[in-house]
Amino acid sequence: MPVDVPLIERKQREARRRIVAAAEELFAARGFAAVSVSDIAERAEVGRTTFFRHFGDKQEVVFAREQELLDLLAAETLETDGPDDRSASAALRALEPVLLCLCERMTADLDGYRRHVRLVEDHPELGAREGVKMQVVTERLTDLLVAQGWAGGTATFAAEIALACYRTARRTSPDPATLVAATRTAIHHALGLGTR
Amino acid sequence: MPVDVPLIERKQREARRRIVAAAEELFAARGFAAVSVSDIAERAEVGRTTFFRHFGDKQEVVFAREQELLDLLAAETLETDGPDDRSASAALRALEPVLLCLCERMTADLDGYRRHVRLVEDHPELGAREGVKMQVVTERLTDLLVAQGWAGGTATFAAEIALACYRTARRTSPDPATLVAATRTAIHHALGLGTR
């Protein structure tokens, strides 16, 4: 049986979807700099007020997918090694499936992800915005660990190391099809750092 | 014997120093948003052209010190464990003294560093700019490792882990007086990840 979503929420989701699709088409056709919020709203057939109900500015639309994943992240739970192991290594092992799942979802639409990466690389202000999003991811991962009983300092450390693994994968594997595997490899390298 | 710096270079350095000092005074007195490039140039007694010869925009002045450290970083050399060990652990050990030296220099003027941190925290656009600077630090550290014979992937990984340690220290030790010690501790935790 389909979940019963109230009409107003369905309409809002539909408007958001149309805004994202319109922005992508316009960015691809004219380039990011040449597109205004008004252009996007017009093509999506929504008012500017509706645009700003969903997104703070034009840049934010570029990270619509990341934001949805961030919202999902808040509801994640971690599987832990055991009730007693609250070491940094156990924290990193607990984050691994969550981080890989994020990478999988981000690259589920490979062409869309490639367009996104190109857009961010071509515009320094979008690169800066992406850095801020990564900071938010780190904070959410830290919160997940703290909720499972890790000490704040250990949780912060493990979350930063997890993000370092993701960044390594992004920099060393330009092909998004290998992002998940490269992130997994980097995490395993991190977990073996002291042993080599 | 003092090093003989050509007159034109001495004048340029002096102009840069005056711009940075003027910007700091104005930001402290009026707040970052209320200060324009013209205000800074006027107080520093230089023309706007001179301002833009040294800095791309008003935000860049906030990171003047970071930029100088970045320029120094390019000239660093690494002390390595031995001619043969090109593992990720050895890479992180080689980066440790360089990273700690950067932290020391950044926090040498504790009050100045505290003002800087407060300014960056209060202005999201400066936070984003700082993220970009950190990305550049990571790339420079990667280059240092590659120059010493590390493989590109291992170098990228070790540099990202090193920066993760610095970020951990920044987030867990709000007192800049402890930044060096906290970064060192995080690096040692990273080097012990596989052993616990």
Structure tokens of A45?
Answer: 């057939």
| pLDDT given at position A70 | 85
- For the stretch B7-65, pLDDT in tens is 888 888 899 999 999 999 999 899 999 999 999 999 999 999 999 999 999 999 999 98
3-state DSSP assignment of residue A167: helix
Determine the Cα–Cα distance for residues A146 and A122; give it in Å rounded to an integer: 37
User: Which amino acid is present at A148?
Assistant: Q
Contact B22, B36 (CB under 8 A): no
Report the b/e string of B83-103 with b at 16+ CB within 10 A: eeebbbbbbbbbbbebbbebb
- For the stretch B83-95, pLDDT in tens is 788 999 999 999 9
- The domain defined by A1-60 carries CATH number 1.10.10.60: yes
| pLDDT given at position B12 | 87
| pLDDT given at position B3 | 63
Structure tokens of B40?
Answer: 């800074």
Tell me what the mean pLDDT of segment B58-78 comes to. Answer: 86
Contact A184, A101 (CB under 8 A): no
- For the stretch A127-186, pLDDT in tens is 888 888 898 999 999 999 999 999 999 999 999 999 999 999 999 988 889 999 999 999
Residue keyed to tokens 């990270």: A63
CATH of domain B63-195: 1.10.357.10
What residues in B contact A168, CB-CB < 8 Å?
153, 156-157, 160
Q: How confident is the model at residue A3 (pLDDT cuts 50, 70, 90)?
A: low
Determine the Cα–Cα distance for residues A12 and A16; give it in Å rounded to an integer: 6
Determine the Cα–Cα distance for residues A158 and A148; give it in Å rounded to an integer: 13
| pLDDT given at position A71 | 85
Report the b/e string of A136-170 with b at 16+ CB within 10 A: ebbebbbbbbbebebeebbbbbbbbbbbbbbbbbb
ipTM metric: 0.87
| pLDDT given at position A9 | 86
- For the stretch B162-196, pLDDT in tens is 999 999 999 998 888 999 999 999 999 999 997 75
Q: How confident is the model at residue B102 (pLDDT cuts 50, 70, 90)?
A: very high
Tell me what the mean pLDDT of segment A23-38 comes to. Answer: 92
- For the stretch A52-80, pLDDT in tens is 999 999 999 999 988 888 888 888 878 77
Number of residues written out for chain B: 196
Determine the Cα–Cα distance for residues B58 and B35; give it in Å rounded to an integer: 9
Contacting residues for B69 by C-beta, under 8 A, at least 6 apart: B102, B105, B106
Which residue in A has a C-alpha nearest to residue B128's C-alpha?
A: A128
* Chain A residues touching chain B at CB-CB below 8 Å: 87-89, 92, 124-125, 127-129, 131-132, 134-135, 138, 152-153, 156-157, 160-161, 163-165, 167-168, 171-172, 186, 189-196
Tell me what the mean pLDDT of segment A96-101 comes to. Answer: 94
Is A132's CB within 8 Å of B135's CB?
no
Give the CA radius of gyration of chain A: 19
Tell me what the mean pLDDT of segment A112-133 comes to. Answer: 88
Number of residues written out for chain A: 196
For the ranges A111-120, A155-164, B76-85, B144-153, which has the lowest average pLDDT? B76-85
What residues in B contact A92, CB-CB < 8 Å?
193
Give me the CATH topology for the region B1-61: Arc Repressor Mutant, subunit A (1.10.10)
- For the stretch B119-137, pLDDT in tens is 998 988 888 888 888 989 9
Cβ-Cβ contacts under 8 Å between A and B: the total is 102
Determine the Cα–Cα distance for residues B105 and B127; give it in Å rounded to an integer: 20
Judged against a pLDDT cut of 80, whether residue A15 lies above it is answered with: yes
As a whole number, the mean pLDDT across chain A is 90
User: Which amino acid is present at A125?
Assistant: E
Determine the Cα–Cα distance for residues B153 and B168; give it in Å rounded to an integer: 22
Q: How confident is the model at residue A89 (pLDDT cuts 50, 70, 90)?
A: very high
Domain boundaries, chain B: 1-61, 63-195
Contacting residues for A156 by C-beta, under 8 A, at least 6 apart: A138, A142, B168, B171, B172
Judged against a pLDDT cut of 70, whether residue A28 lies above it is answered with: yes
Tell me what the mean pLDDT of segment A92-108 comes to. Answer: 93
Best A160, A167, A187 member to test B by mutation, with max B CBs in 10 Å, is: A160
